[in-house]
Structure 1
Amino acid sequence: MDMARQRAREAGGGSARQRLTARDWADAALTAIGEGGLAAVAVEPLAARLGTTKGSFYWHFANREALIEAALERWEEIGTEAVITEVEVEPDPVGRLRRLLRRASDGAAEDPLEVSLLATAGQPRVAAALARVTERRIDYVASLFAELGFTEDEARRRALLAYTAYLGHTQLGHAVPQSLPAGAARERYLDGVIDTLARPA
């Protein structure tokens, strides 16, 4: 069940319309983007998915573009900031790198949203969000390599390598999933990526 439908169901029956928030609409838009790209963000189908009317949409947003902007901000929040917060509980930087790559790879395998956003990078709003997210993610990974003693330039280079490995893994996972290892072999593969990148020059 997608995030939007789950929230509407939890709101319960006829009261769902009153309880829907801008975040519910943003989550529904993200689900739609993952399923069909930006073209899938249409008010009436989203209202049906949420079990509400277009009036609820216009209570929260002036237009479709405002919803798309809110959805992209929500993606930044749950796809980057929340993940960083989650991995920060690990005290060891190599442990954080392992946990981050596993968490990011698992999320990308389960949800086509990231691949869908990359495919619509020509849209200015999406391009801007991708630029912000990419910079934030690479900066964070570079800080972990810096903790391991690498120079600023080398930490940045390794962070970029790690991020391109993640993106390649994500694209293959959706386009040619049989090309990637599964089960225990997948865990060894992901650990090997980090072991290689964390190894001193």
Structure 2
Amino acid sequence: MPKIIVTEEQWVQQGIERFAQGGVEELVIEKMAVSLGCSKSSFYWYFSSRAIFIQQIIEKWRERTTQQIIADSNVHATADERIIVVLSRMFGTTGRGDFLFYLRKLSLKDDAYRSILNEVEQLRMEFMQQLLVQRGFQSEQAYQKSWMLYHYYLGWYERHKQETLSDEGVQRHVEVIYKEWIFS
């Protein structure tokens, strides 16, 4: 039988998916190895411990869900275009598990994860605040709108996280938020 070589990225991706489905309890190395079609010893080739693995999957999640969205939006010329991109990405991420819920749960037990969670959420709100300031809002008003928008998103996501929404449905929702709430 040929030897199956699994990359670090495949392990991390598997970890992100499993964490989103059940938190750290889903990060059973033996089960992940079976799913990836490799031996569990390949895990230790890349990660010296399960704790290091958890840190890496959370860092990769942060990169993909916050830093990458910010970078993607920055290629657009106007603040309006960037706001639409951010809103579309925010409200288009349903049906993929609940990574944020399990990170929040983990953060209650470990200050390091609480710090990461706080940094991610603060960065998200500050970025939207910057976009709203560029759009013409005063800083305090922009902060209030970004804070409310983020907390609305958390509730909305909780309600819709198990659904797969159509692109058209997401765009209609983004339009309503953009036209009727942000700029009302």
TM-score (structure 2 length as normaliser):
0.86
- Which amino acid counterpart does residue 5 of structure 2 have in structure 1? A
Residue among 128, 147, 151 paired with 2:138: 151
Q: Moved runs in structure 1, 4+ residues, more than 6 A?
A: none
Matched, 1:16 2:5: yes
Instruction: Trace 1:7-46 onto structure 2 (pairs within 5 A).
Output: 14-17=3-6, 20-21=7-8, 23-46=9-32
Question: Which of the two has greater helix per residue?
Answer: 1
Structure 2 distance, partners of 1:184, 1:74, is 28
Cα distance in 1 between the residues matched to 2:90 and 2:182 = 18
Query: Contact conserved, 2:95 with 2:161, CA < 8 A, in 1?
Result: no
Q: Higher relative contact order by CA 8 Å / sep ≥ 6: 1 or 2?
A: 2
Q: Deviations over 1:149-201 (max 9, x none)?
A: 222222111111111121121111037x6xxx97756533321212234327x
Partner of 2:79: 93
* 1:123 Cα deviation from its structure 2 partner: 3.3
In the alignment, the residues of structure 2 paired with residue 133 and residue 47 of structure 1 have an alpha-carbon distance, to the nearest angstrom, of 30
What amino acid sits opposite 1:84 in the alignment?
Answer: I
**Identity percentage of aligned residues:** 21
Q: Which runs of 5+ in 1 are unaligned?
A: 1-12
User: Cα RMSD between the aligned structures?
Assistant: 2.4
TM-score (normalised: structure 1): 0.79
1:6 aligned residue: none
**How far apart, CA to CA, are the structure 1 residues paired with 2:147 and 2:88?**
17
Structure-1 separation of matches of 2:21 and 2:158: 15
Match of 1:141 in 2: 128
| Aligned length, in residue pairs | 181
Match of 1:191 in 2: 175
- CA distance in structure 1 between the aligned counterparts of 2:181 and 2:83, rounded to whole angstroms: 10
